[in-house]
């Protein structure tokens, strides 16, 4: 059982990355701890760890193995691969400075939202970076802005693959409701998020598109519910974001 989709996959690679992920979650582990956790012989764990150490994807200190910075190298390379992403970084900084709130740029990958850049204005607290973190795409303003600009088939695909899990009691979990919301977003040009992934937090999101209409990501600004109200929430921020996204699209087009 449970060999449904496993046809022709490389099991050794799966365990290698399972090890990496465990090391990340646990913030470092010892050899036998890892072997126990994985349910493999110590000798097996040893062989895998030695390999990852040799390849320099893992470090070892006093018998404790941790993920290495080579992941940062590959990740950073991936993030700054296209000029578009680098240009987005500037806009995120501008938005944070101008609004004094937190702003971020998110892209879609494997049906999820991934934080590429985040900047916190003076007013916002400087939290953990969260860069690279994944989040259900339907539960963020930026994510919905992206979703609204994908083809219906792709949207279906993502919903099928990821479902619509609830992060708070305000998360949209009904597919029908999501579709109508996406239509509104397309009309209006921007998306909103009212405590759908974190209670007490609201956000506005706008898509960033290539010339052909394909979304490459989305910008968003988020802040506490008590500040995000009325004109600010309904006009000022949406207009600021739409203008910024437009500038960004032009920058990308002529880069």
Partner DNA sequence: TTAAATGTTCCGGAAAGTCGAACGACTTGC
Partner DNA sequence: GCAAGTCGTTCGACTTTCCGGAACATTTAA
Phi, psi (5° rounding) for residue 73? -60, -50
User: Per rule CB under 8 A, is residue 132 in the interface with a copy of itself?
Assistant: yes
User: Per rule CB under 7 A, is residue 48 in the interface with DNA?
Assistant: yes
User: Per rule CB under 8 A, is residue 170 in the interface with a copy of itself?
Assistant: no
- Residue 179 to residues 41, 144, 149, 163, 164, Cα–Cα distance (Å): 49, 10, 12, 13, 12
Partner interacting with residue 63 (select from a copy of itself, DNA, none; CB below 5-8 Å by kind): DNA
What's the min distance (Å) between Cβ of 43 and DNA? 3
**3-class state of residue 52 by DSSP:** helix
Structure tokens at 225: 């519910």
Residue in 17, 24, 47, 184 binding DNA, rule: CB under 7 A: 47
- Residue 240 to residues 5, 77, 184, 245, Cα–Cα distance (Å): 46, 30, 19, 9
Which segment (46-54, 79-87, 142-150, 215-223) binds DNA by CB under 7 A?
Answer: 46-54
User: Per rule CB under 8 A, is residue 22 in the interface with a copy of itself?
Assistant: no
Number of chain positions touching a copy of itself (CB under 8 A): 50
User: Per rule CB under 7 A, is residue 157 in the interface with DNA?
Assistant: no
Separation CA 15–CA 17 (nearest Å): 5
Structure tokens at 106: 């998110």
Give contact residues for DNA (rule: CB under 7 A). Answer: 7-12, 15, 30-33, 39-44, 46-48, 63
């Amino acid at each position: 059982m449970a060999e449904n989709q496993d046809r022709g996959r490389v099991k050794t690679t799966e365990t290698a990355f399972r090890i990496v992920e465990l090391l990340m979650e646990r913030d470092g582990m010892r050899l036998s701890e890892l072997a126990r956790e994985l349910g493999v012989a110590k000798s097996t764990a040893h062989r895998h760890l030695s390999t990852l150490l040799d390849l320099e994807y893992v470090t070892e200190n006093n018998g404790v193995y941790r993920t290495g910075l080579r992941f940062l190298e590959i990740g950073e390379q991936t993030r700054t691969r296209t000029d578009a992403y680098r240009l987005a970084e500037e806009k995120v900084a501008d938005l944070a400075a101008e609004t004094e709130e937190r702003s971020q740029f998110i892209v879609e990958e494997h049906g999820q939202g991934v934080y590429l850049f985040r900047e916190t204005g003076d007013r916002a607290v400087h939290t953990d970076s969260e860069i690279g973190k994944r989040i259900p795409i339907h539960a963020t303003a930026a994510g919905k802005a992206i979703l609204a600009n994908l083809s219906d088939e792709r949207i279906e695909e993502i919903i099928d693959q990821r479902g619509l899990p609830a992060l708070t009691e305000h998360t949209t979990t009904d597919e029908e409701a999501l579709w109508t919301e996406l239509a509104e977003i397309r009309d209006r040009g921007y998306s909103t998020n009212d405590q759908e992934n974190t209670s007490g937090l609201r956000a506005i999101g706008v898509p960033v598109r290539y010339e052909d209409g394909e979304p490459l990501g989305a910008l968003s600004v988020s802040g506490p519910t008590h500040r995000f109200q009325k004109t600010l929430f309904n006009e000022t921020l949406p207009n600021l974001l739409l203008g910024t996204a437009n500038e960004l699209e032009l920058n990308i087009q002529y880069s």
